[in-house]
């Protein structure tokens, strides 16, 4: 990004840091909250007809334009967390959330990382959420999937100029950087972004067949595809296309069609929990460094 572009973004962020925006999800009624990381509201709406549980998709304004901001503004200091079990593939929880503030904080990313794809498989989140729902029957359950946030699992854009395998730590592996550099087309990224959403929605479909209660499906933030001359999901940037996220409500009934097979190792691997080098690599693979 040029110095002028950086100055432009910093000016927007200066305003964003001063303005409260968005609706905290705890203001809504739900038993299970499914969080699709980085999912635009219009992206979910575009596939809703293909999924019975996505009836009448709506939207809300997020309380953050990036995961760290959303986590902090949603959970930190909120009394509802005491009765909430959170299963999460998002790597920012280690820095922004206090495990003691939750009924349970299951940080799946610490032990389910997939080196081949440079991300956390959606199935791991599904299995752990089902296990918590059946074994603990929590008042509230959050299942935070990493998709459709890149890397794009079904379509990592290997063959595109300027865009390499999603697991690489090069900036060109970040589709939003590639878009800004005009190294890949918007249409190409949209297709891969949508395929990644469909990948995770297959797991959400399984989840709602294996839990009970009122389910809400939302996102922490979206992604900019050039709106206001910006790309991705910069922090404290309340651009409507970025902070408008899905909100869909449905009712789930446990039909026991899935027996969770994935469990965390005991104890968790030290390198995954405490290894600073490993955490840095994971953040880079997800485009955070």
Domain map of the chain by residue range? 3-285
pLDDT at residue 82, as a whole number: 97
Handedness of CA 240, 241, 243, 245 (dihedral sign): positive
**In angstroms, rounded to a whole number, what is the distance separating the alpha carbons of residues 78 and 199?**
32
Task: Provide the b/e sequence for 2-13 (b: ≥16 CB within 10 Å).
Answer: eeeeeeebeebb
Residue 250's DSSP bridge partners are 215
Tokens of 269: 């691997």
The yes-or-no verdict on residue 168 having pLDDT over 50 is: no
Residue 128 is predicted with a pLDDT of 97
- Average model confidence (pLDDT) across the chain: 89
Confidence of residue 165 (pLDDT cuts 50, 70, 90): very low
Sign of CA dihedral 63, 250, 32, 115: negative
In whole angstroms, what is the distance from residue 103 CA to residue 81 CA? 7
Please give the pLDDT value at position 268.
Answer: 47
Calpha distance 162→139 (Å, rounded): 47
**Hey, what are 202's tokens?**
């297959």
Question: What whole-number distance in Å separates Cα of residue 154 and Cα of residue 196?
Answer: 6
* Half-sphere exposure in the Cβ direction for 244 (13 Å, CA): 13
The pLDDT score that the predictor gives to residue 279 is 61
C-alpha 141/C-alpha 126 separation (Å) is 12
Task: For 236-280, give the DSSP string.
Answer: T---HHHHEEEEEEEEE-------------SSPPHHHHH-HHHHH
Residue among 186, 190, 162 nearest 174 (CA) = 162
pLDDT digits (tens, 9 = 90+) for 223-270: 999 999 999 999 999 999 999 999 999 999 999 999 999 989 875 444
How far is 57 from 252, CA to CA, in rounded Å?
16
The highest-level CATH class for domain 3-285 is alpha beta
Q: Which of helix, strand or coil describes residue 142?
A: strand
Q: pLDDT tens digits, residue range 47-106?
A: 999 999 999 999 999 999 999 999 999 999 999 999 999 999 999 999 999 999 999 999
Report which DSSP code applies to 161: T
C-alpha angle with apex 279: 189 to 131, nearest 5 degrees? 80
CA distance 133 to 254: 10
Instruction: Provide the whole-model pTM.
Output: 0.89
């Amino acid at each position: 990004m040029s110095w002028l572009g950086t100055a432009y973004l910093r000016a927007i962020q200066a305003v964003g840091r001063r303005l409260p925006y968005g609706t905290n999800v705890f203001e809504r009624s739900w038993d299970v909250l499914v969080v699709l990381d980085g999912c635009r509201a219009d992206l979910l709406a575009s596939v809703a007809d293909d999924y019975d549980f996505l009836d009448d998709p709506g939207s809300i304004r997020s309380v953050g334009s990036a995961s760290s901001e959303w986590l902090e503004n949603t959970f930190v200091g909120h009394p509802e967390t005491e009765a909430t079990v959170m299963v999460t593939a998002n790597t920012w929880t280690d820095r922004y959330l206090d495990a003691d503030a939750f009924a349970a904080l299951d940080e799946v990313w610490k032990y389910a990382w997939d080196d081949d794809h440079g991300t956390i498989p959606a199935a791991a989140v599904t299995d752990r959420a089902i296990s918590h729902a059946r074994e603990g029957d929590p008042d509230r359950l959050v299942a935070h999937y990493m998709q459709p946030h890149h890397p794009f699992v079904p379509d990592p854009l290997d063959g595109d100029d300027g865009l390499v395998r999603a697991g690489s730590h090069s900036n060109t592996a970040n589709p939003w950087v590639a878009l800004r550099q005009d190294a890949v087309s918007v249409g190409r990224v949209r297709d891969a972004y949508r395929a990644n959403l469909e990948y995770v929605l297959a797991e959400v479909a399984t989840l709602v067949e294996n839990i009970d209660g009122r389910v809400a499906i939302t996102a922490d933030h979206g992604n900019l595809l050039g709106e206001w001359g910006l790309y991705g999901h910069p922090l404290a940037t309340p651009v409507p296309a970025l902070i408008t996220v899905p909100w869909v409500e449905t009712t789930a009934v446990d039909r026991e069609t899935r027996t969770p097979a994935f469990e965390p190792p005991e104890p968790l691997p030290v390198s995954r929990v405490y290894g600073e080098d490993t955490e840095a690599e994971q953040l880079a693979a997800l485009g955070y460094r």
